[in-house]
Amino acid sequence: MRLVNVSNRITIPRRAAAPGGLAVGVLAAMRARGGLWFGASGDCVANAADITPKLLERDRVTYATIDVPEELYTAYYNGFANGTLWPLLHSFLGTFHYSASEYQAYDAVNSLFACHLAPLLTDTDLVWVHDYHLLPLAHKLHDAGVRNRIGFFLHIPFPPYDVLRALPVCPQLMRSLLSFDLLGFQTQGDRLNFLATATALWGETVVGSDGAVAMAGRRTMTGVFPIGVDVADIEKSSAESLKSTSVKQMQAGLLGMPLMIGVDRLDYSKGLLERFAAYREFLEVHPEQQRRVVYVQIAPLSRADVRAYAELRAALEQSAGRTNGVFAATDWTPIRYLNRNFPRNVLMGFFRMARVGLVTPVRDGMNLVAKEFVAAQDPDDPGVLVLSSLAGAAVELEDALLVNPYDSSAIARAMQTALTMPLDERRARHRRSMQVLRSNDIHQWHTRFLRALDPIGFEHAKPRRAAGS
């Protein structure tokens, strides 16, 4: 059995920086079992007739990429995927929009994926499709004659039916999802929202007592598979990275002050404006902390062509400038706001030296930064995680300081609590959180999903051993 992972984009590992988020999970699964990773290259082509998959072999994994026609890509990616589905699935109806032409481009790109993936498949391949960009892909693959087992994992939230029904093509996409053999969700809440939507559309009889949905002679299983992190790798990487130049420079720049850190892709779902406001309130309510703490917010730019993201960037720059203008001193900058990427090992070093990790999204399917922060800590002197109760990670990390991300006063209080928490309590919270992370790490995640997708094939397919192991 070969594992075939499919996602919108492919991340080919490079020495300078390890992949993050979705790519970490995909690579962990394929490095364990071998396989093919199929997705878009990020480049565009003028004519669909010119599309030919490009294959690259590296570390026992085959990467297969296709270029997408330029006339389709913007409407597919910036339009329907990130202007329609992303806000809708995060329950942000205020930034959601719908365009029939963008939906047609989205559907066409999924057809292109199926057209070029199908010839690469063998009869025994197990296909695992990832995330909201590819909701119709199993249906398209079936139309192309593919009869393999196909699973789908949604890395972001699934909203309640009253939100999802705002999408004119909601019934079509829900029917497409039922072409998968297994649908995986981050939390039980997401799974129940999906089942409630199926019930609302087609009646109670389509949902079985086991959470499977039966329609038109097909039976689609559903399950909860919260994604984890590679705990052992992060522990090692964070300790070793303390010797790196970037981490040493950060340490020197703190001038002995404790560090509060946030690392988020620049996105309106991450609660950054609310977090900046909470930090300003924290400085006002606790003047004794002024010139005694440094807040570093790393927020790499994303989806710059989408208007909502450009507006968010401008608002964050204004907010940070306002706080620094009021509170800064000649030897102290309250917020260091950085729109740039850092290598993942460097970020783990930043996490390890931080006293407080701020992860306060207003809605998030899981949020692996929360788990990475905990795993990166020094167990003898761990930092404290301030975590949004609206992130999927809050279900597991009960020993974080859980806050409502819209409550600036609550976040400000949590910042003070974290900075002043006794060492014994910090160690106890960290120890319990690490037990949770180890019980559901990245390897457990892909093992559980694949076993649920194809129990018989999974048990007969031995994981590949890395060279030299």
Give the model confidence (pLDDT) of 15-54 as tens digits. 444 455 677 788 788 888 889 999 999 899 988 888 999 9
Quote the pLDDT of residue 356.
Answer: 98
Q: In the chain, what percentage of residues exceed pLDDT 70? A: 94
pTM of model > 0.85: yes
Query: What backbone phi and psi angles, to 5 degrees, belong to 290?
Result: -65, 135
Confidence of residue 14 (pLDDT cuts 50, 70, 90): low
- Are the C-beta atoms of 305 and 78 separated by less than 8 Å? yes
**Cα–Cα–Cα angle for 434, 436, 437, rounded to 5 degrees:** 65
**Structure-token match 């192991």, residue found:** 469
Quote the pLDDT of residue 130.
Answer: 97
Mean per-residue pLDDT for 55-83? Answer: 93
Quote the pLDDT of residue 309.
Answer: 83
Quote the pLDDT of residue 220.
Answer: 98
How does 402-429 read in b/e, with b if 16+ C-beta sit within 10 Å?
bbebeebebbbbbbbebbebeeeebeeb
State the Cα–Cα distance between residues 425 and 311, nearest whole angstrom.
40
Half-sphere exposure of 137 (CA within 13 A, CB side): 30
State the Cα–Cα distance between residues 237 and 167, nearest whole angstrom.
43
State the Cα–Cα distance between residues 166 and 87, nearest whole angstrom.
12
Lowest mean pLDDT among 40-54, 236-250, 441-455: 40-54
Quote the pLDDT of residue 187.
Answer: 97
Helix (H) or strand (E) holding 222: strand 218-224
Quote the pLDDT of residue 17.
Answer: 47
Helix (H) or strand (E) holding 385: strand 384-388
Model pLDDT for residues 139-191, shown as the tens digit of each residue = 999 999 999 999 999 999 999 999 999 999 999 999 999 999 999 999 999 99
Nearest to 104 by CA among 172, 6, 9, 47: 172
Nearest to 187 by CA among 230, 159, 157, 161: 157
Helix/strand/coil (H, E, C) string of 22-51?
HHHHHHHHHHHHCEEEEEEEEEEECCHHHC
Model pLDDT for residues 252-273, shown as the tens digit of each residue = 999 999 999 999 999 999 999 9
Mean per-residue pLDDT for 117-144? Answer: 97
Q: Looking at per-residue confidence, does 133 or 13 come out higher?
A: 133
What is the set of active-site residues? 155, 364
DSSP tag of 466? P
Map out the domains of the chain with their CATH numbers: 3-228+442-460 (3.40.50.2000), 231-438 (3.40.50.2000)
Query: What backbone phi and psi angles, to 5 degrees, belong to 214?
Result: -110, 120
Cα dist from 200 to 55, 197, 203, whole Å = 43, 5, 6
Total residue count of the chain as it appears in this document:
469
State the Cα–Cα distance between residues 383 and 417, nearest whole angstrom.
12
Quote the pLDDT of residue 461.
Answer: 58
Q: What is the DSSP string of 47-87?
A: -GGG---EEEEETTEEEEEEEEEHHHHHIIIIIIIIIIIHH
Model pLDDT for residues 320-335, shown as the tens digit of each residue = 999 999 999 999 999 9
How high does pLDDT run on average in the chain? 93
